[in-house]
Amino acid sequence: MQQMVSEYDFIQAFLTSDTYKNNFSYDGLKALYEYLTEYEDSTGEQIEFDMIALCCDYSEYHNAKEVYEAYDNRGIVNEEEAMEWLEGNTTVIPFEGGIIIQQF
């Protein structure tokens, strides 16, 4: 049994959660919802809404360089090099004000 979740419901579920309201920004939630619905459309596979799993599987950052440093990579890189590294290792969901990555 599956329930359709609108963008509004998706965003509100996170924003009203005491535990998970700070995991993603409003714009990040919009980008993540869009990515997940496009994934469903392109694969024909339905995704079950599981807030805990989404918070474990995806993280939001300000930019690719921040992710690069968070994964303890040594060496100085610029934003473009960090984004190339990221795109070679995981799913990257860019949006105005940041990026969301699938944890790897």
Query: pLDDT at residue 5 above 90?
Result: yes
Tens of pLDDT, residues 45-99: 999 999 999 999 999 999 999 999 998 777 788 999 999 999 999 999 999 999 9
Phi-psi region of 4 (alpha: psi -120 to 50; beta: other; left: phi over 0): beta
Distance in angstroms (rounded) separating the CA atoms of residues 94 and 39: 15
- The reported pLDDT for the residue numbered 75 is 79
Residue 1 lies in a domain: no
- The reported pLDDT for the residue numbered 94 is 97
Helix (H, G, I), strand (E, B) or coil at 94: strand
The structural domain count of the chain equals 1
Residue 35 lies in a domain: yes
Query: pLDDT at residue 1 above 90?
Result: no
- The reported pLDDT for the residue numbered 2 is 65
Residue 2 lies in a domain: no
What number of other Cβ atoms are within 10 A of residue 33's Cβ? 21
- The reported pLDDT for the residue numbered 95 is 98
Q: Which domain holds residue 56?
A: 7-102
The token pair that represents 88 in the structure block: 């070679």
